[in-house]
Structure formats: C-alpha cells, structure tokens
Chains A and B, each alone.
Chain A
Amino acid sequence: MNGLAETLAHTLAPGLLYPTAGAILFALGLYGLIRRHHLVLRILALNIMGSGVFMVLLGVAARGEGPPDPVAQALTLTGIVVAVSATAFALALVVHLTRLTGHAVMLPGPPDDDAPVEDISRGEHHADGGPAASDEDRPS
C-alpha cells in the first residue's frame, strides 16, 4: 500500500497532486456540510472545504519552473485569517444557540406565523437585562 502511494506521488507531479487532493477535500467538505446536521460538524465541514481551496491555491502556485509564486502564499495566509475569524464567529453563534435551545442544530424553516416577535424598538426589551435608555441618552 505504501509503495502504491509512493508510486502515485512520483507519477503525479506536485502541480497536479495538490490541486486534485484539494478538489477532493472541497467535495468531501461539501458532502459533510449537506449531510450532517450537528452545527459543529457543519462548521468543520466548511473548514475542510476551506483547506481544499487553499491546497489548490498552493498547488497551482507551485506549478511550472522556478520557485513557487509568493503571491499565492500571501493569499493563503490572508484566507486562513478570514477562515479562522469566520469559524470563531460561527462557533460563538452555535454556543449561543445551544444555550437557548439545548441543541446544536438549526430550527426548522422560517419563523411560523404564531411565534412571538422580539422587537428591539419597543421599550420592554433590553439586551442582557440592561437598564432602559435614560432620557438624556435618547436622540432628540
């Protein structure tokens, strides 16, 4: 088995191996995103898709003669920063949702016609139980 992998790696130039593997990761991630319902698994699936994209990017940059294109590496670093921030934000939302509903899955469908409406413009609602706006804070 090891020999087969080595032969494959030698046969396929790195310029082809990495983009192909990246495309496979992308497809796997998409499959996981659609099939899984647990939100943490879905976020993981999106991260796998992201890794696939970056692998394709680095792979195509290493194609051809000479040293790899540094622009591609700069793009990958930027992309990783964006992916990390988006993942952190998504996880924070999922934690909040789990606290509210007890499950890390999405509520089905749009809000139905009888659900209560949370309207932040009305006086009785305060975020985090904070105090109501005092009069001098109100815009004139």
Chain B
Amino acid sequence: MTPANAEWLPAAIAGLVALSLVVAVLATAWPRQAHRVGLLGALAITAWVLGLSALFLNAGPDPEAAATRVALGGWEAPLGLMLHLDGLSMTLLVLTAVVGLATSLYSLGYVHDRIERRQFWPLWLWLWAGLNMLFLSGDAFNLYITLEVVSLSAVALVAFTGTAAAVSGAVRYLLVNILGSLSFLMGVVLLFGEHGVLDLLLLETRTEAGPTERMAAVLMTAGLMLKAALFPLHVWLAPAHGSAPAPVSAVLSGLVVTGSFYLILRLWMGVFAPLATPAFGILVGMLGVAALVWGSLQALRAGRLKSIVAYSTVAQFGYLLVAFPLMLVDPGAWRVVVFFAVVHALAKASVFLAAGTLQHAAGHDRLADLGDVLRARPRTVFALGLAGVSLMGLPFTGGFIAKYLLLEAGLGTVLAGSVIGVLWVLAIAGGGLLAAAYILRMVAPAFHRGHEDAGEAVSPWMDWVPLGLATVAALAGLAGTLTLNTLALTPGAP
C-alpha cells in the first residue's frame, strides 16, 4: 500500500457521498437546467466511482487494509456515523455507476418534455445518491435512512406518468416499502436495545445466537425481503415495475432491488452469521425454487413485454435465494452470488431499456402486436437478445460464468453428501431453461416473415444505449476474475 492511496481513500469515500448529494440538490434547486446538471453529474459520479475503485484496488491485497472506515466529522463509533467501504460495497458502487450512467444517457432521449424533465432528473439523482449512501453506510440506523431515501424517490418515479394505473402501482409500492422499512427499523431497535450500539462492525462483535437476535433477524430479513420482492413477498413488483417509465423500470429492477438484497447479504454475513442453520438455509432455498418456477410461469403467461421482464426479475431473484443453502456448505459461494446479482442487474436494465425503445416505437408493449416493430428494429432486438442470452446463461456471457460457478457450488454440496443439493442443482439448471423459454418468446416474432414497420422515430440515445449496456452485461464474464478478486477484499467474510 502506498501512503498516498491510504490518505486519499477516506477523502474519496466521503467525497462520493458529498458529490452525489450536491448533484441531487443542484438539480432540485435549478430545475430548468436539471437535465444538464444531471448529465454532468452522472458523468462526474461515474468518473469518481471509477477513480475510487482504482484507489481501492491499489490500496493493497490485504482485506483488512483495503476496507476503509471513515468517521464522519471525526466522531468515531459508537456515537458517530461510520462510512464503510469494502470489496462488496465497491463492486455494487461500480455496478450502480455503470447502470446509472446508461440510464441517464437513455433518459436524455426518453424524457424530452420540458416539464417532465424538471421532475424526472432531481428524483432520479436523489435515488442515485441514496443508493451510493446505502452501499457506503456502516451504521444500522443510517441504513434505515438511506433505504427511505431510495424508496421515497423510487415511489415518486413509479408515479411519474400520473395515470391511475401508475399512481395505484406507486401507492402499493409505497405501502409495501414503508411496511418493510418499519419492520427493518423494529429489528434495528431490538438490536440497539440489546447491545446499545448501531455500528454494524461493533454489533457483529457483540451478537450471539440469542432470542433478541433471532427476533431482530426475522423482522429485518422479512422487511428487506419485502423490499427486494423475494418470493413470497413479491406481489407488488409487477404492477410497480411494469407501469413505470422504461428508465425507471431499469433502475428499479436493476439497482433498487439489488440494494435491498445487498443489505440482506451484508447482515447475514456479519451480524446474523451465528444464527444461520442448515434448516434455515433449506427453507430459504425452497422459497428460491418456488420463486424460480412461479416467476418463470408468470413470465410465460404475461401478454406484455414489460410484464414479462418484471416477472423474470422475480424468477431470477430465486437464484439468489437458492444460493443461501449453498453458502452454508461453502461459505465462499457468496462471491458467486454477488457476481450473479451484478450480471443480472446489467442484463435486466438493458432488457428494460430495450423494451422501452420498442414500446416507444410501437406505442404499446402488447407482445402479440409487436411483430412489425420487432422485425424493423434489429438493433434493439439484438440488444434484447444479447442481454437475454446473458440472463439465460449461455456460454461466453457474464451470465454463463455466474451460473457455472453457482452450479459448481451446488455440485459441491452434492459431493459433500447433501441429498437436497440435487434439488438446488436441478433448480439452477432448470431455471436457465425456463429463462430461455420466456426470452425466446420476446424475440421470436422478429424472426417470423411479415410486415415491417419501424413505428415512431426514436432518438439515437434510445437506439444505442440498450445495446451498449447489453454488451457490457455479456462482456462482464471477462471481468469475472476482477470482480471476484475485488469481492475477496471484504474483511471478515470467508
């Protein structure tokens, strides 16, 4: 570790939070120029995150040295708020920056009405700032606050179009989110009452498998599962994600849901690690299998492009649940899970953006009548297909590496003598087949003979950004080693 890096890193972490907040405030205070502020801000935040990751990776191969804690205002824990950067948060910050930049560029073309632009950009920048703070926060109560920042701006974005369906979806989303937050907060309160600290690392050293911890674990996990739309608490997802504008759906399905999942993972790797038992792992894994089957069947039945994509999010998150029992057998498997979530977020965001382009061109997203537009827009269909291939997990894409590693972990449990491991392996392999079925359903009309009609003209941003993001998702396989090595820089994790 060079001394210069070590000095710069805390400043760079605090600076990222400050920068994303300043950009959000500027866009709010200066709505006429919100899109210009937003574009410059998106570029600045992305550049800052990439610089931060370079600093972080050069800080040294020692996990304990690489992870950095920053005491805001010089107040150390337990009284002060700590910012915490390790391999896990770094990976998700980079993911957020990539998807966020793509969504911002896409929105330049998508949100072109002057008044709507003034409303869209501040909300989206607040959402991004909230996500950055969520990934950097190391304090249980502060996490609750960032969760609220994220969910309130996300709800406002869902209600953005102002139609009855959108507002109703937003109300449902808001009630679910508040319920999830309150449940999470109740868990935080129980932990605080038992141990008197809120800092996650301090909590981790003090928790043991007691009744208060169990209660807190149930409340916090249930609240976050509700927010992450993990089966069986997923029913709100399709109305909210399906009725939102395309860039919003991309961010919701790609990043917001991943943010809640990140928190579940972080808690169960740290504070609640003593509570994880094999029976609990099997229960969660069963939920994952049910999510895979149910979500895929709904995606096969849905008549609208965006509904198919929304249900596929439910199905794909089943994989993340299936991975929990694997993590109990092979603790190192959590890195594969995060890599899978990263690839899923990239691919899902580009599928939603491509669906938005098709919807814009055709004026609707009913799959049965989309054939003409699909045939006339090969670039968008290629983006849809490329991201879809990554979701299915065909070779040479990021999704393939992620699923291969998951399967390997699953087979490892079978070899370790676990009979139930066979079910996990079957679910991981079968889920890919189901994904292939509903993704082919989306792109198949493009290969039928028939009339071509490009529909309404789309801006170059809407034409090219989905393809760019899909390419990134497919090439993520090449960055697999880098991601897994970054994740290894997480102290305390196996």
Contact surface of A with B, Cβ cutoff 8 Å = 19, 26, 30, 33, 39, 42-43, 46, 49-50, 52-53, 56-57, 59-61, 63, 69, 71-72, 75, 78-79, 82, 85-86, 89-90, 93-94, 96-97, 100-101, 106-107, 109-111, 113-123, 125-128, 130-134, 137-139
Cβ of B365 under 8 Å from chain A: yes
- Determine whether the beta carbon of B165 is less than 8 Å from that of A127: no
Task: Provide the main secondary structure of the chain A interface.
Answer: helix
Contact of B148 among A86, A110, A121, A130 (CB under 8 A): A86
- Determine whether the beta carbon of A46 is less than 8 Å from that of B113: no
Cβ of B363 under 8 Å from chain A: yes
A56 CB → nearest B CB, Å: 5
A residues within 8 A CB of B456? 122-123
Which positions 249-306 of chain B face chain A at CB distance < 8 Å? 302-304
A residues within 8 A CB of B155? 89, 93
Contact of B186 among A26, A114, A126, A138 (CB under 8 A): A26
A89 CB → nearest B CB, Å: 6
- Determine whether the beta carbon of B363 is less than 8 Å from that of A122: yes
Instruction: Evaluate whether A46 and B114 lie within 8 angstroms (CB atoms) in the complex, with A106-B168, A111-B239 already known.
Output: no
Given contacts A30-B179, A56-B189, 7 further A-B pairs with CB under 8 A are A57-B192, A78-B145, A107-B165, A110-B307, A111-B239, A121-B356, A134-B114
CA distance A90 to B181 in the complex (A): 14
Contact of B167 among A42, A61, A96 (CB under 8 A): A96
Which positions 184-204 of chain B face chain A at CB distance < 8 Å? 185-186, 189-190, 192-194, 196, 198
Give 15 CB contacts A-B under 8 Å. Answer: A26-B186, A46-B182, A49-B179, A56-B189, A61-B193, A86-B152, A89-B156, A93-B167, A93-B170, A120-B161, A121-B245, A121-B360, A125-B161, A131-B114, A133-B113
Instruction: Evaluate whether A60 and B193 lie within 8 angstroms (CB atoms) in the complex, with A131-B114, A133-B112 already known.
Output: yes
A residues within 8 A CB of B141? 75, 78
B residues within 8 A CB of A115? 165
- Determine whether the beta carbon of A117 is less than 8 Å from that of B110: no
- Determine whether the beta carbon of B182 is less than 8 Å from that of A53: yes
Task: Provide the main secondary structure of the chain B interface.
Answer: helix
CA distance A63 to B174 in the complex (A): 34
CA distance A18 to B295 in the complex (A): 42
A72 nearest CB neighbor, chain B only: B192
Contact of A56 among B144, B178, B186 (CB under 8 A): B186
Cβ of B366 under 8 Å from chain A: yes
CA distance A57 to B187 in the complex (A): 10
- Determine whether the beta carbon of A46 is less than 8 Å from that of B179: yes
Instruction: Evaluate whether A97 and B167 lie within 8 angstroms (CB atoms) in the complex, with A90-B174, A121-B112, A131-B114 already known.
Output: yes
Instruction: Evaluate whether A42 and B175 lie within 8 angstroms (CB atoms) in the complex, with A56-B193, A100-B167 already known.
Output: yes
Contact of A101 among B35, B161, B164 (CB under 8 A): B164
Cβ of B162 under 8 Å from chain A: yes
Cβ of B246 under 8 Å from chain A: yes
Cβ of B336 under 8 Å from chain A: no
- Determine whether the beta carbon of B243 is less than 8 Å from that of A46: no
Cβ of B133 under 8 Å from chain A: no
- Determine whether the beta carbon of B168 is less than 8 Å from that of A107: yes
- Determine whether the beta carbon of A93 is less than 8 Å from that of B159: yes
A residues within 8 A CB of B302? 113
CA distance A121 to B159 in the complex (A): 15
A residues within 8 A CB of B152? 85-86, 89
CA distance A52 to B182 in the complex (A): 10
- Determine whether the beta carbon of B114 is less than 8 Å from that of A137: yes
B234 CB → nearest A CB, Å: 12
B311 nearest CB neighbor, chain A only: A110
CA distance A26 to B461 in the complex (A): 48
- Determine whether the beta carbon of A126 is less than 8 Å from that of B239: no
Contact of A96 among B111, B162, B246, B307 (CB under 8 A): B162
CA distance A60 to B212 in the complex (A): 12
CA distance A114 to B367 in the complex (A): 11
B residues within 8 A CB of A118? 161-163, 165-166
B residues within 8 A CB of A39? 171
A residues within 8 A CB of B112? 121, 133, 138-139
CA distance A96 to B360 in the complex (A): 26
Cβ of B62 under 8 Å from chain A: no
- Determine whether the beta carbon of A111 is less than 8 Å from that of B242: yes
Cβ of B108 under 8 Å from chain A: yes
B residues within 8 A CB of A127? 113, 115-116, 119, 162
Which positions 65-100 of chain B face chain A at CB distance < 8 Å? 79
- Determine whether the beta carbon of B356 is less than 8 Å from that of A110: no
